[in-house]
């Protein structure tokens, strides 16, 4: 029976999984994504993470039928270019070849958000539907589309829901443009905004104390969740702003495409879960044109393993 590996390369963490022929996880491993160095350092951490997962499944990586990788950035064959939110990865790096020679097995690359959406479509919350919008609320806000049962790529750039404009001439986005949904809702943008309110406007918050207490260098999803549990006013305000932006952005996409379902994933989406999915559905409602039949909004059923499980499907589809 064939066993497959999958690696989800995120801005905050690297998640690896080893799955059986039915895509059920046999073992998992997780490491923090390096914040310094460059692509070679990230690749080294990736192969360590996959090795840990394989060891937990009592396998050597070369015994796997293949390893799929979901990566940010532009993917052309075995190369990844301009992987944003990763250290010094503006240029092109042969990630597929580097991992294949380190692990001794076949490696196939795919777009991180697309593979996670396909995993939800085939194995998770999107199973009842023919059309699905995946929204991955994490360091940035990624999106992918499945229309009439097929991933819609457009001319290659489809699905970038994070860069739907929710405010003309609004906040500066990491993409260099203004007013994008991600500039309000992405974890990185939320951190910058919280820091600005705290350090320059003198607003009180426990966010940065919690970050240090938990030995984090960033305001991770867990730090946000803990601050919310403490009723931290500034955290609540920044999250409210993110929810409004997500509601407007997702509703705008639904107005154009009328998808049956929306799956909310990503570090923040999975961590904050159902209560926030409901809040986002509520924030969408006033912006929906066909407001009597909103799409169902689900939290990713595969949780934060969806990206890695979806990546493992890449090696399968290439048989």
Which residues sit at the interface with Zn ion, rule CB under 5 A? 163, 173, 175, 177, 180
State the DSSP H helix or E strand holding residue 194, giving kind and residue range, or none if neither.
helix 187-195
User: How buried is 154 (Cβ within 10 angstroms: 0-12 exposed, 13-18 middle, 19+ buried)?
Assistant: exposed
Buried b (16+ CB within 10 A) or exposed e, 97-130: ebbbebbebbbbbbbbbbbbbbbbbebbbbeebe
How many residues does this entry show for the chain?
Answer: 319
**Crossing angle of helices 221-229 and 187-195, rounded to 10°:** 60
Report the C-alpha gap between 267 and 272 in whole angstroms.
8
- Pick between residue 180 and residue 262 the one whose CB is nearest to Zn ion: 180
Nearer to Zn ion, 15 or 85 (CB): 85
CB atoms within 10 A of CB 186: 27
- Calpha distance 46→51 (Å, rounded): 9
**Lookup: tokens for 162:** 């994070």
CB of 167 to Zn ion, least distance (A): 12
Of 177 and 196, the one with the shorter C-beta distance to Zn ion is 177
Smallest distance, Zn ion to C-beta of residue 140, A? 9
- Rounded to the nearest whole angstrom, what is the least distance from the CB of residue 189 to Zn ion in the complex? 9
**Least Cβ distance, residue 191 to Zn ion (angstroms):** 16
Q: Min. distance of Cβ 201 from Zn ion in angstroms?
A: 24
Nearest one of 100, 63, 95, 102 to 79, comparing CA atoms: 95
Query: Whose Cβ is closer to Zn ion: residue 3's or residue 242's?
Result: 242
Determine the 3-state secondary structure of 109 from DSSP.
strand
Nearer to Zn ion, 7 or 86 (CB): 86
Closer to Zn ion at the Cβ: 15 or 111?
111
CA dist 226 → 138, 179, 209, 214, 314 (Å): 16, 28, 11, 10, 35
Expressed in percent and rounded to 5, the helix, strand and coil fractions of the chain are 45, 20, 35
Rounded least distance, CB 179 to Zn ion, Å:
8
* Residue 52 or 167 with smaller CB distance to Zn ion: 167
Minimum CB–partner distance for residue 133 and Zn ion (Å): 18
């Amino acid at each position: 029976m064939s066993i497959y590996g999958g690696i989800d390369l995120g801005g905050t963490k690297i998640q690896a999984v080893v799955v059986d022929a039915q895509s059920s996880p046999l073992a998992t491993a997780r490491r923090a994504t390096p914040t310094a160095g460059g692509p070679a350092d990230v690749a080294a951490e990736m192969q360590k993470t996959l090795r840990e997962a394989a060891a937990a499944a009592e396998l050597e990586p070369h015994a796997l039928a293949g390893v799929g990788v979901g990566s940010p950035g532009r993917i052309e064959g075995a190369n990844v270019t301009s992987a944003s939110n990763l250290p010094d990865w503006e240029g092109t790096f042969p990630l597929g070849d580097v991992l294949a020679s380190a692990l001794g097995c076949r490696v196939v690359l795919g777009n991180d958000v697309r593979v996670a959406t396909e995993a939800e479509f085939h194995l998770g919350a999107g199973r009842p539907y023919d059309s699905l919008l995946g929204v991955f609320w994490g360091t940035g806000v990624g999106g992918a589309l499945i229309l009439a049962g097929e991933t819609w790529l457009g001319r290659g750039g489809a699905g970038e829901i994070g860069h739907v404009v929710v405010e003309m001439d609004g906040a500066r986005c990491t993409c260099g443009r203004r007013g994008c949904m991600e500039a309000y809702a992405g974890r990185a943008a939320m951190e910058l905004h919280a820091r600005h309110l705290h350090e320059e406007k003198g607003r009180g918050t426990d966010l940065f104390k919690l970050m240090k207490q938990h030995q984090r260098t960033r305001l991770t999803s867990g730090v946000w969740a803990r601050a919310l549990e403490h009723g931290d006013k500034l955290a609540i305000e920044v999250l409210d702003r993110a929810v409004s932006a997500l509601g407007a952005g997702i509703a705008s996409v639904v107005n154009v495409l009328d998808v049956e379902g929306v799956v909310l994933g990503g570090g923040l989406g999975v961590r904050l879960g159902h209560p926030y999915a409901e809040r986002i559905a509520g924030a969408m409602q006033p912006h929906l044109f066909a407001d009597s039949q909103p799409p169902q909004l689900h939290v990713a059923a595969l949780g934060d393993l969806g990206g890695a499980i979806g990546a493992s499907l890449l090696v399968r589809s290439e048989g």
